[in-house]
Chain A
């Protein structure tokens, strides 16, 4: 039991981070906070991949006389791609929030939902 908790602590952190992010995405009303939650969620995935490639006492996979065992570089490389994806998603999300703020005058979800479908308010800004 102790081994399961302490020996694999990075996986527990990954689960905790993922749940924090997930909670923020669902429960927070503020659209920016939701994006922060989304980033935490995506970071948790990165931590998971990196944990999986870790080998105790392992070195980077380059030829070296003292190297005994190597870490797997592939998950690291995959996470480079995931970071790019995460950055682009955040950029698109932030751009959307800016336009939502311009069109609705608020980034609180409950206020926006009240205005939704109400066409008497401020006219929508020109597209993009």
Chain B
């Protein structure tokens, strides 16, 4: 029935159609909406796994939409690089869907729940589409699909400040997307093609053209906005702080990662490594921005009193790590950067899920009020501790693996001065996470917590189990690091054209 050559399109079509039917079947019974979402994301993940297995064995897959031959038709491409990202995104989304069920019942009013899952699936479709497409205008369309549903998801937050966060995100996101579409226009002007593979074949002889260089500038600014790379990060803390817990976890774990993927894809496969390294040495600028993001993100995180906002600023720093590895641009650092896309999705996803569970049960978001939480929610706080250790880069956690690759990569490139930056940021991370871990376990209960019943009360099973599962994966992939490393190394090799 489902033949293997149609897998690339099924990954996109299934969540897209489910997004349309979710509000309809939600009318029958509201829990069906959730079931449809779970089914759609699970199928997408299963197909992504099938795709990556096939790619690792038989080489890249190209799918022609409607049978039109590229470069005229739209092409979907799966390589080890984007197959890896496809699996990460769909896997994290399944875990968060399982988590969403209870959390959303509290965050969103009952009649809106089917619509929530509809937007949720559209958002997921957009992300998967961005990753799989081989056509640059199609990329823009998918960016807008995920962004538009993202704005609505953020606006579903309980506080009214969520609306302002969503509005600002919309304005900045639109500027970013318009810059991207301008960049596409400039490229089309000189090459007459929209297919990424075709572009990368035609661009090298045009590297001296001002048009191609302006296009590149537009892409860099537009994507930095989408990615929330310092200093374009101002929309991110508000969005993560005010959106529903599920949405914070989903966005932190997937959407900035996908934007990072697009940046890498454009820098290294549409333009070539020699362009970004020598013709227009944008990597030098990115290195500085990444270093600033790492340091400033950590310092601002240190000053936060709201835990969600602290995690958001910590994300700004972690995005810096991903860009740092990509800009050093040797095999080791690129592997580290790709690993960090996966690892940070695990860590930040689980940390935001812990916060969501805590908000669900106690309504606490201030770090000050978290004192003594270890006795109230032991499992959730265990997950938090693992996540925190992993963020710091403690050995045997995923955070250590990617930081190790980044540091070794920096050394190999004779950029030793990034090692103190990585160390300093790890130290700052240790400070701002450890003060929380200490407050959770070794302090008297805060007034707010003391007012609640004293016996342990975890969030519902679905939420606690998925949170613990994700944080245990932080350890599993920290020890068995060779599994993702193998894929990431193959992807890095591909990106660097080796």
Interface set of A (CB-CB < 8 Å, partner B):
22, 25, 31, 34, 38, 41-42, 45, 48-49, 52, 74-75, 78, 81-82, 85, 88-89, 92-93, 96-97, 99-100, 103-104, 112-113, 116-117, 119, 124-128
**In the complex the two chains form, what is the Cα distance from A106 to B59 in whole Å?**
57
Known A31-B167, A99-B155; contact A49-B178, beta-carbon cutoff 8 A: no
**What's the Cα separation between A10 and B166 when bound, in Å?**
34
Does B161 sit within 8 A of A, measured CB to CB? yes
Per-residue A-contact encoding for B82-118, CB less than 8 Å = 1, 0 else? 0000000000000000000000000011001001000
Q: In whole angstroms, what is the CA distance A22 to B181 when docked?
A: 15
With CB as the reference atom, state the residue of chain B lying closest to A126. Answer: B109
Contact of B158 among A85, A104, A112, A127 (CB under 8 A): A127
User: Taking A22-B175, A96-B167 as contacts, is the C-beta distance between A89 and B148 under 8 angstroms?
Assistant: yes
Contact of A52 with B152 at beta-carbon distance under 8 Å, contacts A116-B164, A124-B158 already known: no
Q: Is the CB of A93 within 8 A of B167?
A: yes
A74 to B156, CA, bound (A): 38
Known: A92-B170, A99-B155, A128-B115. A25 touches B175 (CB 8 A): yes
**Binary interface encoding of chain B residues 48-61 relative to chain A, with 1 for a CB under 8 A from any of its CBs, else 0:** 00000000000000
Are the C-beta atoms of A48 and B158 separated by less than 8 Å? Answer: no
Q: Do A127 and B112 have beta carbons less than 8 Å apart? A: yes
Residues of A contacting B141 in the complex (Cβ-Cβ under 8 angstroms): 81, 85
- Are B182 and A48 in contact (CB-based, < 8 A)? yes
Q: Is the CB of B108 within 8 A of A127?
A: yes
Partner of B152, one of A48, A92, A117: A92
- Are B108 and A38 neighbours in the complex by a CB distance under 8 Å? no
Chain B interface residue number, banded:
20 to 34
Q: For residue A48, which residues in chain B have a CB less than 8 angstroms away from its CB? A: 182, 185
Q: A residues within 8 A CB of B17?
A: none
Residues of B within 8 A of A75 (CB): 185, 188
Give the residues in chain B near A119, CB-CB below 8 Å.
Answer: 159
> CB of B144 within 8 A of chain A?
yes
Which one, B144, B171, B188, contacts A85 given CB within 8 A?
B144
Among the listed A52, A92, A100, which residue makes an inter-chain contact with B185, where contact means beta carbons less than 8 Å apart? Answer: A52
Q: Would A124 and B159 be within 8 Å (CB), given that A45-B181, A92-B152 are in contact?
A: yes
Quote the shortest CB–CB distance from B22 to chain A (angstroms). 15
Chain B residues packing against A (C-beta within 8 Å): 108-109, 112, 115, 137, 141, 144, 148, 151-152, 155-161, 163-164, 166-167, 170-171, 174-175, 177-178, 181-182, 185, 188-189
- Distance in angstroms from B21 CB to nearest chain A CB is 20
A82 CA to B181 CA in the complex, in Å?
A: 9
**In the bound complex, CA of A77 to CA of B185 (Å):** 13
Q: In the bound complex, do residue A45 and residue B182 qualify as a contact, i.e. CB atoms below 8 Å apart?
A: yes
Select from chain B the residue with minimum beta-carbon distance to A96. B167
In the complex, A107→B148 CA distance in Å?
21
Q: Given contacts A92-B152, A97-B167, A100-B160, could you give 18 more A-B pairs where the C-beta distance is less than 8 Å?
A: A38-B171, A41-B175, A42-B178, A81-B137, A81-B141, A82-B181, A85-B148, A92-B170, A96-B155, A100-B163, A100-B167, A103-B160, A124-B159, A127-B109, A127-B158, A128-B112, A128-B115, A128-B155
* Interface pair A88/B148, CB less than 8 Å apart: yes
A126→B110 CA distance, assembly (Å) = 11
Look across to chain A and name the residue whose beta carbon is closest to the beta carbon of B137: A78
Known: A116-B161, A124-B158, A127-B158. A38 touches B148 (CB 8 A): no
Contact check, B185 vs A49: say whether CB atoms are below 8 A apart. yes
Closest 9 A/B residue pairs (Cβ): A124-B160, A103-B160, A85-B144, A100-B163, A96-B167, A52-B189, A127-B156, A99-B163, A49-B185
List 17 A-B pairs, Cβ < 8 Å: A22-B175, A34-B171, A38-B171, A45-B182, A52-B189, A74-B188, A82-B181, A96-B163, A103-B160, A103-B163, A112-B164, A116-B161, A119-B159, A124-B159, A124-B160, A127-B109, A127-B157
Set of chain B residues within 8 Å of A117, measured between Cβ atoms: 161
Q: Give the chain A neighbours of B159 by CB distance below 8 A.
A: 119, 124
- With both beta carbons as reference points, the residue of chain B lying nearest to A37 in the complex is identified as B171
Q: How far apart sit A42 and B163, CA to CA, in the bound complex (Å)?
A: 23
In the complex, chain A residues whose CB is within 8 Å of the CB of B167? 31, 93, 96-97, 100
Q: Measured between alpha carbons, how far is A117 from B137 in the docked complex, in Å?
A: 39
A96 & B166 in contact (Cβ 8 Å cutoff): yes
With a cutoff of 8 Å between Cβ atoms, the chain A residues found around residue B137 in the complex are 78, 81
CA distance A102 to B137 in the complex (A): 37
CA distance A100 to B157 in the complex (A): 13
Residue of A89, A93, A103 with most partner-chain B CB within 10 A:
A89
Residues of B within 8 A of A85 (CB): 141, 144, 148, 177
Cα A113 to Cα B178 in complex, Å, equals: 26
B406 CB to closest chain A CB (Å) equals: 35
Report B-chain residues with C-beta under 8 Å of the C-beta of A116: 161, 164
With the chains together, A125 CA to B158 CA distance in Å?
Answer: 9
Chain B nearest CB from A51 CB (Å) reads: 10
Complex interface: chain B residues within 8 A of A82 (CB):
181
Q: Chain B residue with minimal CB distance to A125? A: B160
Given contacts A34-B171, A49-B185, A127-B156, contact A41 B178 (CB under 8 A): yes
Chain B nearest CB, measured from A74 CB (Å): 8
Check B163 against A25 for contact (C-beta < 8 Å): no
A52 CA / B186 CA spacing, docked (Å):
9
| Residues in A neighbouring B182, C-beta threshold 8 A | 45, 48
Min CB distance B113 to A, Å, is 11
Give B210 Cβ to nearest chain A Cβ, in Å: 13
Tell me the bound Cα distance from A113 to B167 in angstroms. 13
Closest-by-CB residue of B relative to A128 is B112
